[in-house]
Amino acid sequence: MNTTAHLLSPELDTRRIVTVGLVLAGLGAAAFLATLAAQHPQRAWQAFLINFLVWSAMAQGAVLFAAVMQVTRARWSGPLPGLAASFSAFFPISLLLFAVVFAGRRHLFPWLHEDLHGKQAWLNIPFLFSRDGIGLVVLYSLGFAFISQDLRLAIGANTGAGRLRACLLGRRGSTADPQSCLARARVLGVLYIMAYALVLSLLGYDLVMSMDPHWVSTLFGAYTFVKAFYIGLGALIILAAAVRLRLGETCGLTDAHFADIGKLFFAFCLLWADFFYVQLVVIWYGNIPEETSYVITRTMTAPWNHLAWTVLFVCFIMPFCILLNRRVKTRPRFMIGLCAVILAGIWLEHLLLLGPALGPGTAGFHIGLPEGLITLGFLGAMAAAVAFFLKRFPELTRAAPPEPEKTST
């Protein structure tokens, strides 16, 4: 047995990552509570909402990749859908964090004491959190149901020990008919895709666009779920690159896999920028005061205009120029750094959208130690959840088995 491969076993790595992740999550929670008790608690709530949206969208978008690969019968993806399924471990954490958002509702929704001009039937706290909460429960339930069938296909042989494996695979997972699992996985994949588009649009309207209740964009829902898939692909590339660096060729990830997912990542970089541009052009052409004031504040007023150009450069111009090169996509270390920078850029994009509404009248935005520590806390929670999932399903870090053949009668 190769000694190096033994020392870099998935079990050893995941245990360490879970420990470090939990420490970071605890540090982030402490920073959040300390900032709440400080002079400006709205900074804590703003950072919390931004991170909730970013990290939840990351997990939702990564699982969407697995669903799309199953529904479209994409054979190029190899073990990538299995790794994407591990992000579903963040779903229960996301639900708990959504409950925390409800606790900070008085700090997060500036329209609570405003005249909404007839919009109060939609914009009221009980209805908003009820529909969003139900939407998240439906989305995550469909995600887990899909992953359950997908894992039975990928793992197949033995359910093994552990409550999580028994819950997702079923006590009789090893005897499940592959064709039945495949059919159910594709149906559930389609349902997850549909719920994803609906729920992500709803969250975009309710938790981002509603912060300025007099601004409306019919494209904002699509912009939200396209962006979520964009960062979901970025997170998946980081995970796949880390697995490739640690396990080498035994994980089944080849340069062709990274080149292909890099092309998909590049395509959604273009699509995100297209949606960003289309919203801007339509508002500029319409020249309606309720719409133009939103854009002017974020693109022409200091210091938000500098942040807008930073987001455009980090999330589009830089990756567009870099990802044109095919070789770059096949270099795991470089892709980890590039994707991390892009994810940071999307974090700043959420600050650009939410900051002027959540901190009106301020001289500028704040990015300091509290925001950094709270973000590290969310990073730790995501890393611990994904590592815990991979620890329970170490088969996901290996090459995927071929799709079962249809038997003729």
Least confident range of 4-13, 66-75, 145-154, 272-281: 4-13
Asked which of 63-72, 248-257, 323-332 is least confident by mean pLDDT, the reply is 248-257
Kindly state whether residue 2 falls inside one of the protein's structural domains: no
Report the alpha-carbon distance of residue 371 to residue 35 in Å, rounded: 9
Q: Counting Cβ atoms within 10 Å, is residue 77 exposed (0-12), middle (13-18) or buried (19+)?
A: buried
Is 366 part of a structural domain of the chain? yes
4 Cβ contact list (under 8 Å, min separation 6) = none
pLDDT of residue 118: 79
pLDDT band at 8 (very low <50, low <70, confident <90, very high): very low
Domain hosting 351: range is: 9-111+124-397
Q: Is residue 76 part of a domain?
A: yes
Asked whether residue 342 is domain-assigned, the answer is: yes
CA distance 400 to 154: 6
Neighbours of 337 (CB within 10 A): 13
Q: Which residue has the tokens 């796949």?
A: 240
Overall number of domains in the chain:
1
| Residue 408 within any structural domain of the chain | no
Look at residue 187 in the predicted model and tell me its pLDDT: 94
Confidence of residue 290 (pLDDT cuts 50, 70, 90): confident
Query: What are the pLDDT digits (tens) for 165-174?
Result: 656 666 554 4
Distance CA 371, CA 44 (A): 7
Q: Is residue 41 part of a domain?
A: yes
The yes-or-no verdict on residue 192 having pLDDT over 90 is yes
Kindly tell me if the per-residue pLDDT of 153 is higher than 80: no
**116 domain-assigned:** no
Indicate the pLDDT class of residue 261, thresholds 50, 70 and 90.
very high
> Is 390 a domain residue?
yes
**What's this model's pTM, rounded to 2 decimal places?**
0.90
Q: Name the average pLDDT for the chain.
A: 87
